[in-house]
Amino acid sequence: MTNDVERARGSRISAVRAFNRFYTHQIGLLQDGLHRSEFSLAEARVLYELAQGAAPTATAIANNLDLDPGYLSRIVAKLSKLDLVIREASDVDRRQFQLTLTAKGRSKFARLDRGSDDQVAAMLADLGTAEQERLIGAMRAIEGLLTAPADKPSLLLRPHRAGDMGWVVARHGVLYAQDYRWDTSFEALVAEIVAQFIRQFDYARERCWIAEIDGEPVGSVFLVKQTDDVAKLRLLLVEPKARGFGVGRRLVEECVRFARDAGYQSITLWTQSILAPARRIYQGAGFVCVGAEPHTSFGHNLVGETWTLTFGS
């Protein structure tokens, strides 16, 4: 198992580095001048910051761009020598220097900006509308995953609706293949579960909840009738980008609340010993592991666990 984890980690690292090399070449970052101009990437970024702000200080630009102050000082000196930037002592703090673009500097930046637009337009030109939307969506996903959230996002739990079951099946298949290398027999099992849920759905005693953040599905859980007295919790899922915000805990709490209100005496669930995050959620909600049995499923030797939560009288 350790070797499998290390191989998966190495494969992900290689994939990210390969993408970095591809995209760096795609947008020409290794060329001497950005967009065939006389400016390096760092110099172009400084011009961009100056074009957006109202006389920012050198310190502010260094912080925004995460540049070494000495390196920034050399860039500013070059841009000043080219009559693109004016460097003046700040009226508020004489130890600080405010930077502004000259008319020549604004003209140079405008040409750089147009060059950037033209480059992106050329990159998109061979793609259809649907492909362009896929590309932009992938870029947004990368940005979202690699950006540390400033605040806890607003979470919505809602009942299922048309299209949700396909999402549940697809995301289970993808995420469990990525995280645990389970084969497609697991996706087939999920498809069977959701198909049975739709065919036999009992609104009074069963539910599916979809968790949403900013209108995007990020999690799911099902509560179904096993017997008149026992409910079964199934298919708890939380997207990687939504983990750490209590989404799984909220979904399980909603199952427990509904089961109590619907008159069940207990809830049962089946999970695997390797699914540590899910097991912590179940334990936190009051579930107890009452049995474990080795089995071979989804292309792996696993230990299945039965957990139960019994309601007091």
DSSP assignment of 72-96 equals: HHHHHHHHHHTTSEEEEE-SS-TTS
For 155-310, give the CATH class: alpha beta
Predicted pLDDT at 46 = 80
Residue 290's pLDDT band, with cuts at 50, 70 and 90, is very high
The whole-number pLDDT of residue 282 equals 95
Cβ neighbours of 159 (radius 10 Å): 10
Q: What's the confidence (pLDDT) of residue 10?
A: 80
> How would you classify residue 181: left for phi > 0, otherwise alpha for psi between -120 and 50, otherwise beta?
left
Distance CA(220)–CA(239), nearest Å, equals: 9
For the domain made up of 15-146, give the CATH fold. Arc Repressor Mutant, subunit A (1.10.10)
Domain residue ranges of the chain, discontinuous segments joined by +: 15-146, 155-310
Determine the distance from the C-alpha atom of residue 54 to the mean position of all C-alpha atoms in its chain, rounded to a whole number.
33
The H or E element containing residue 296 is strand 288-297
Q: In the prediction, which pLDDT does 31 show?
A: 57
Confidence of residue 306 (pLDDT cuts 50, 70, 90): very high
Q: By CB neighbour count within 10 A (0-12 exposed, 13-18 middle, 19+ buried), where does 157 fall?
A: middle
Which residue stretches of the chain are H helix?
A: 2-26, 41-52, 58-65, 69-81, 103-125, 129-146, 164-180, 184-200, 247-262, 276-284
* Mean pLDDT calculated for residue range 24-46: 68
Cβ within 8 Å of residue 100, ≥6 positions away = 50, 55, 85, 86, 88
Q: What is the pLDDT of residues 247-277, one digit of tens each?
A: 999 999 999 999 999 999 999 999 999 999 9
- In the prediction, which pLDDT does 32 show? 55
